[in-house]
Structure 1
Amino acid sequence: MARSISKGPFSEILLKKKIPLSSKSAKTDISSSISLNNNLQQRSVYKVWSRRSMILPEYIEQKFLIYNGKTFISLKVDTDMVGHKFGEFANTRKKPIHKTKTNKKKR
């Protein structure tokens, strides 16, 4: 069952605090735009442990490292990814490697 529309999209609070707002939703003060640019330059990659968090429009063009239980997998958010969850882009299981059949010579 899908999440109720009245609840809105789920995203971890700490994740929202880490990532600065995009320039569209930021205030138009010169001082705030300078501090926003400094924040963007300081941090370009964000580590995410919450695979259940939804990708919001504020995260477009940001780089993330998503934890899959063992390692971090890099992801750059595009407009097509908005509305999906971070866990959809970081597989937790390895794909099986099947043995190839070899043709044995008949005697």
Structure 2
Amino acid sequence: MTRSLWKGPFSEIATKNQKIWSRRSVILPYLIGKQIMIHNGKSFLTLKVTDEMIGHKLGEFASTRKKAFHKKKTKK
């Protein structure tokens, strides 16, 4: 279910603070060109905001999963 239009987009991003824990916040136009740090649950990931990102949520750009690493089998 989407958010009501009369409420507007949800954003807990302060303009002075670079570190952001709120992954559910929507990227707004005043963030274009700024470099912010998004928390992925363990560490902060640096992100430079572009105009294509407006309207998306911050959590979409900070993956919380590790990539699978499979060991190669060696022949004896």
TM superposition score normalised by structure 2: 0.85
Give the alignment's Cα RMSD to 1 decimal.
1.9
User: SS in structure 2 opposite 1:19?
Assistant: coil
Greater helix percent: which structure? 1
* Residue type at the aligned position of 1:84: H
Q: Does 1:19 align with 2:15?
A: yes
1:53-74: per-residue Cα shift (whole Å, max 9, x none)?
Answer: 1000011001100011111000
Matches within 5 A, 1:1-107: 1-12=1-12, 15=13, 18-19=14-15, 46-102=18-74, 104=75
* Residue type at the aligned position of 1:67: H
| Mapped partners of 1:100, 1:72: distance in 2 | 30
* Residue type at the aligned position of 1:61: G
| Mapped partners of 1:3, 1:101: distance in 2 | 50
User: SS in structure 2 opposite 1:88?
Assistant: helix
| Mapped partners of 1:70, 1:2: distance in 2 | 28
- Pairwise CA distance, 1:101: 4.8
Distance 1:4 1:100, change over 3 A: farther
In the comparison of the two structures, how many residue pairs are matched? 76
Unpaired runs of 5+ residues, structure 1, are 21-44
TM superposition score normalised by structure 1: 0.63
Unpaired runs of 5+ residues, structure 2, are none
User: SS in structure 2 opposite 1:10?
Assistant: coil
Query: Percent same amino acid at aligned positions?
Result: 59
Larger RCO of the pair (alpha carbons < 8 Å, separation 6+): 2
